[in-house]
């Protein structure tokens, strides 16, 4: 076989070039630290590197997402911790304010701190994260979550959206919560009503259920069920049996809890409504209120108490022993022979109920039976157990009140009067009396007190009516109409001070058909210098505070639940971070095994390839000088 010089040279050059290429490839591998420089170096390995690199990149993004979510959630957790402490402080203040040792002077001081806490709560609700985004605005993270309006209310400007971040291949985590859920509407009650037993109830009665059974008749509102005593009182004329052979004057005296309600003379009559008025005129002293519904008179303690109601009926002025008798309004058969001249009617556990609306008007009433339905205005309440007389249960429509509104309600309640108003009697003072003289033809002389005649007589021409006669008429009027007292003086001495005990307006009038309008200067007209007692203010205040406490507890429970969920998310992030780090380590180890260069092996190959190149170069130098012309 003949090989030309050109072939020999070309083969040598190609060998050198191949050796140089191999050397260059090894040098590039050493420089980059990679043994796969192009897919052609290892197609299967390059494909695996591509897939593993994508996995490494995704896992790295999951870790960055985890860091972002963890940062937001830790800030939310710190914010919710502040909100929890705030609610707990407000709750302590609320319980303090609900104590009756506090009054109209001290409760506004507590309200001042509540107002400060309210401002603090608005600030907490508008917390921003490290990116200057609002934590509790939902998807509207650039919008301030809550705005304080000029009328003191708070508006939510965000939405109920919740952002999620991918922290694993198939795992997402919420990076926050909306303000609507954290500080927003929190349901209360049983879904339809909020039912409460009065805090001072002494019996073992409980309110079991409350439903709407007639939607057409249903009237929403706040109602109180007061447990009391059904009485046998119907009113009418008192029937005295007075022995005619003895000149004595019988009287019937009615007292409740040691306080005289009224004293009645022979022949006196009293309607059921008038008896109710007599009893309620002494409510602030006796602690007992009378209610009438459907011809039935009920007695109930104004506040729950274990003390029974004691009604005392006594026959006064009797001198004929058993021959003098009277039957009292409460059914006592009294005689003049002690001890039958007096009798106590004691009411303890309740056998009836009345339902009152928010104005204390009676809506319905009935006999109480444990577990039976109490129906009113389309609503049905069931109370079971043995309540004491005066025990109370309240029911209100289910309300939803955000935390801000709850604090506003609390502040307003503490700043308003919260103690019962004691009665200040109304007093009118006579400053000028002149006896009326009838005209020649005669005329009527009439004076009324609150629409009831003090005197109404026909005077003959020239006749007069004296101050002494008016004093007698006034004594008779006071005996027949409870609630009026002569504080001092008389008509005769021209210095009478007439008192109306319940503090309502005192109206003394002289009708148009009578003589001299100036007969009773100072008494004439409407006197309004008294104050009517209000024993419901304290109860309503406590009811409001109980409702506030209920809302605070529900809001606090909601915040604690969200804190618990935030903690669970943080734990989830920690777990996923550990998984991501383990996965990332494994991917990187696999990548390293596939593409990282073995420097010892590469350097050895570099030396070997360098030697081979040098040998090829030396060989080429030797053969390039060979030629047949050298032998011619």
What pLDDT does residue 189 have?
Answer: 41
Residue 181 has pLDDT above 90, yes or no: no
Those residues whose C-beta lies under 8 Å from the C-beta of residue 505, and which sit 6 or more positions away, are: 426, 526, 527, 528, 530
What pLDDT does residue 185 have?
Answer: 54
Which of the pair, 436 or 10, is modelled with greater confidence?
436
Q: Residue 114 falls within a domain, yes or no?
A: yes
Which of these three, 480, 507, 527, is where a domain ends? 527
The CA-atom distances, in angstroms, between 39 and each of 17, 109, 271, 432 are: 22, 80, 112, 125
Pairing of strands 506-509, 497-500: unpaired
Average pLDDT value for residue range 401-413: 88
Question: 253 with 172, same domain?
Answer: no
Question: 216 with 327, same domain?
Answer: yes
Average pLDDT value for residue range 415-430: 85
What residues form DSSP beta bridges with 269?
237
Question: 388 with 431, same domain?
Answer: no
Q: Residue 45 falls within a domain, yes or no?
A: no
C-beta of residue 407 within 8 angstroms of C-beta of residue 90? yes
C-beta of residue 180 within 8 angstroms of C-beta of residue 139? no
Question: 554 with 509, same domain?
Answer: no
What pLDDT does residue 227 have?
Answer: 93
Helix axes 537-595, 403-415, angle to 10 degrees: 150
Residue 330 has pLDDT above 90, yes or no: yes
CATH of residue 61 = 1.20.1330.10
Question: 520 with 456, same domain?
Answer: yes
Q: Residue 610 falls within a domain, yes or no?
A: no
Question: 487 with 462, same domain?
Answer: yes
Which of the pair, 168 or 625, is modelled with greater confidence?
168
Q: Residue 181 falls within a domain, yes or no?
A: yes
Average pLDDT value for residue range 243-264: 87
Question: 355 with 394, same domain?
Answer: yes
Average pLDDT value for residue range 367-391: 91
Please, what is the Cα angle at 378 between 377 and 381, to 5 degrees? 90
Which of these three, 546, 567, 585, is where a domain ends? 585
% of the chain surpassing 70 pLDDT: 83
pLDDT range class, residue 282, cuts 50, 70, 90: very high
Q: State the CB neighbour count (10 A cutoff) for residue 286.
A: 22
What pLDDT does residue 89 have?
Answer: 96
What pLDDT does residue 97 have?
Answer: 92
pLDDT range class, residue 150, cuts 50, 70, 90: confident
Count: domains in the chain = 3
Residue 550 has pLDDT above 90, yes or no: no
Residue 614 has pLDDT above 80, yes or no: no
Q: Residue 381 falls within a domain, yes or no?
A: yes
Which of these three, 381, 398, 415, is where a domain ends? 398
Q: State the CB neighbour count (10 A cutoff) for residue 342.
A: 16
Question: 233 with 350, same domain?
Answer: yes
Q: Residue 459 falls within a domain, yes or no?
A: yes
Residue 543 has pLDDT above 70, yes or no: yes
How far, in Å, CA of 268 to CA of 477, rounded? 12
How far, in Å, CA of 117 to CA of 83, rounded? 10
Question: 117 with 219, same domain?
Answer: no
pLDDT range class, residue 462, cuts 50, 70, 90: confident
pTM for the model: 0.56
What pLDDT does residue 597 have?
Answer: 61
Question: 75 with 178, same domain?
Answer: yes
Question: 241 with 371, same domain?
Answer: yes
What pLDDT does residue 23 have?
Answer: 63
Average pLDDT value for residue range 409-423: 85
Q: Residue 251 falls within a domain, yes or no?
A: yes
pLDDT range class, residue 576, cuts 50, 70, 90: confident
Q: Residue 139 falls within a domain, yes or no?
A: yes
Average pLDDT value for residue range 242-249: 75
Span of 34-38, 173-177, 363-367, 608-612 with lowest mean pLDDT: 34-38
φ and ψ of 227, to 5 deg: -85, 130
Residue 531 has pLDDT above 90, yes or no: no
CATH of residue 437 = 3.30.70
Question: 221 with 244, same domain?
Answer: yes
What is the extent of the structural domain holding 508?
426-527
């Amino acid at each position: 076989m003949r090989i030309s010089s050109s072939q020999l040279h070309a083969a040598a050059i190609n060998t050198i070039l191949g050796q140089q290429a191999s050397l260059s490839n090894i040098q590039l591998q050493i420089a980059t630290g990679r043994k796969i420089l192009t897919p052609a170096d290892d197609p299967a390995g390059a494909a695996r590197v591509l897939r593993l690199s994508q996995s490494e990149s995704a896992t790295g993004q999951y870790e960055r997402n985890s860091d972002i979510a963890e940062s937001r959630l830790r800030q939310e957790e710190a914010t919710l911790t502040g909100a929890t402490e705030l609610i707990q402080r407000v709750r302590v203040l609320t319980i303090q304010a609900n104590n009756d040792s506090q009054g109209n002077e001290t409760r506004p001081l507590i309200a001042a701190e509540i107002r400060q806490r309210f401002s603090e709560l608005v600030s907490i609700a508008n917390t921003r994260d490290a990116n200057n985004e609002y934590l509790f605005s939902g998807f509207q993270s650039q919008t301030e979550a809550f705005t304080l309006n000029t009328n003191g209310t708070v508006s939510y400007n965000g939405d109920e959206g919740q952002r999620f971040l991918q922290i694993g291949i198939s795992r997402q985590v919420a990076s926050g919560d909306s303000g609507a859920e954290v500080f927003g509407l929190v349901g209360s009650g049983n879904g339809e009503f909020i039912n409460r037993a009065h805090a001072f109830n002494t019996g073992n009665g409980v309110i079991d259920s409350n439903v709407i059974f007639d939607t057409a008749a249903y009237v929403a509102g706040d109602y109180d069920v007061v447990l009391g005593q059904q009485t046998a009182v119907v009113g009418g004329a008192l029937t005295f049996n007075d022995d005619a052979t003895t000149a004595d004057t019988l009287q019937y005296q009615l007292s409740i809890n040691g306080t005289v309600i009224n004293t009645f003379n022979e022949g006196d009559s009293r309607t059921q409504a008038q008896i109710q008025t007599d009893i309620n005129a002494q409510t602030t002293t006796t602690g007992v209120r009378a209610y009438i519904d459907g011809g039935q008179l009920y007695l109930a303690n104004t506040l729950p108490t274990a003390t029974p109601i004691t009604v005392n009926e006594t026959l006064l002025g009797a001198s004929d022993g058993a021959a003098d008798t009277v039957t009292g309004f409460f059914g006592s058969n009294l005689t003049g022979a002690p001890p039958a001249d007096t009798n106590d009617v004691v009411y303890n556990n309740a056998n009836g109920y009345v339902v009152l609306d928010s104005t204390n008007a009676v809506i319905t009433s009935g006999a109480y039976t444990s577990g039976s339905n109490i129906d009113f205005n389309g609503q049905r309440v069931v109370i079971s157990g043995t309540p004491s007389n005066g025990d109370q249960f309240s029911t209100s429509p289910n309300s939803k009140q955000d935390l801000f509104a709850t604090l506003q309600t609390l502040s307003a309640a503490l700043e308003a009067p919260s103690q019962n108003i004691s009665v200040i009697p109304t007093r009118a003072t006579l400053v000028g009396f002149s006896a009326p003289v009838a005209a020649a033809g005669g005329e009527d002389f009439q004076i009324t007190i609150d629409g009831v005649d003090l005197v109404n007589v026909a005077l003959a021409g020239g006749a007069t009516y004296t101050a002494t006669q008016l004093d007698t008429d006034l004594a008779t009027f006071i005996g027949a109409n409870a609630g009026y007292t002569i504080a001092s003086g008389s008509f005769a001495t021209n210095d009478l001070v007439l008192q109306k005990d319940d503090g309502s307006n005192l109206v003394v009038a002289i009708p148009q058909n009578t003589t001299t309008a100036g007969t009773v200067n100072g008494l004439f007209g409407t006197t309004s210098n008294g104050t009517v007692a209000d024993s419901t203010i304290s109860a309503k205040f406590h009811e409001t505070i109980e409702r506030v406490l209920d809302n605070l507890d529900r809001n606090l429970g909601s915040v604690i639940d969200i804190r618990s969920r935030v903690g669970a998310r943080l734990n989830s992030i920690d777990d996923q971070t550990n998984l991501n780090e383990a996965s990332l380590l494994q991917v990187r180890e696999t990548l390293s095994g596939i593409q990282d260069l073995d420097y010892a092996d590469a350097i050895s190959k570099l030396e070997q390839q360098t030697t081979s190149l040098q040998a090829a170069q030396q060989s080429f130098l030797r053969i390039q000088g060979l030629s047949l012309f050298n032998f011619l």
